[in-house]
Chains A and B, each alone.
Chain A
């Protein structure tokens, strides 16, 4: 079974520029999550999708971050404009259903550095 795919793996941009990350979850997984992991911290949930609908985006900085999941499969996360404090690893995860005991499978992450 193929895992969660993310691209790019690394990105370096200047502050105020825009950047987009892509995630392809495990086939058949209905729920998709985007996390932000700042160096030395645990992942923080940014947004959760169930199929192509948003379940929770309460921690997403909506003035600069946006995310979409077209057709309930792939997802993109965008930052516009980026700030220095956005430097982090952006992790995508997916689960089959939102049920008891379902495991969240994480991708390798996209490492973003904002200069």
Chain B
């Protein structure tokens, strides 16, 4: 079993749809949870950062962490074609130390 599991997709949605992206993990010691967006031929860029359990909202993006279920989610409201990218979940025990990434979910938002 991989330490971090993420459905690679691909996921295709129409513009304006709500997108739900998920990851599960096996290491209960993870405390820091991140979502990165990676455009083709670019490096990942941080979208959301959450410490421990709970929800965090930033504009159209909402990150949720359920440590009891070892499950994290990213929701994108009113999705736009510019959201088309690969979304990577990442997590670590200590902040910015030995982050473990999921395989990434490739998202396409069609106009």
Contact surface of A with B, Cβ cutoff 8 Å: 4, 31, 40-45, 48, 55-56, 58, 91, 93, 95, 98-109, 111
18 residue pairs A–B, Cβ–Cβ below 8 Å: A41-B101, A41-B103, A42-B4, A42-B90, A42-B102, A43-B88, A48-B98, A56-B98, A91-B43, A95-B96, A98-B95, A98-B96, A99-B95, A100-B95, A101-B49, A104-B46, A104-B96, A106-B44
Distance from A38 Cβ to chain B, minimum over Cβ atoms (Å): 10
Q: Does B42 contact A (CB under 8 A)?
A: yes
Distance from A109 Cβ to chain B, minimum over Cβ atoms (Å): 6
Contacts of A48 in B (CB 8 A): 97-98
Distance from A35 Cβ to chain B, minimum over Cβ atoms (Å): 8
Contact surface of B with A, Cβ cutoff 8 Å: 4, 6, 8, 41-46, 49, 51, 88, 90, 95-104
Contacts of A91 in B (CB 8 A): 43-44
A42 and B7 alpha carbons, distance in the complex (Å):
12
Contacts of A98 in B (CB 8 A): 95-97
Check A93–B4 contact: CB distance below 8 A.
no
Check B43–A42 contact: CB distance below 8 A.
no
A101 and B48 alpha carbons, distance in the complex (Å):
10
Contacts of B46 in A (CB 8 A): 103-104
Check B4–A106 contact: CB distance below 8 A.
no
Which of chain A's residues has its CB closest to B42's CB? A108
A91 and B102 alpha carbons, distance in the complex (Å):
16
Q: Given A40-B103, A41-B103, A42-B4, are A108 and B43 neighbors across the interface (CB < 8 Å)?
A: yes
Contacts of B43 in A (CB 8 A): 4, 91, 93, 106-109
**16 additional contacts (CB under 8 A) given A41-B101, A41-B104, A111-B41:** A31-B96, A40-B103, A42-B6, A42-B101, A42-B103, A43-B101, A45-B98, A45-B99, A56-B98, A91-B44, A101-B95, A102-B95, A102-B96, A103-B46, A104-B96, A109-B43
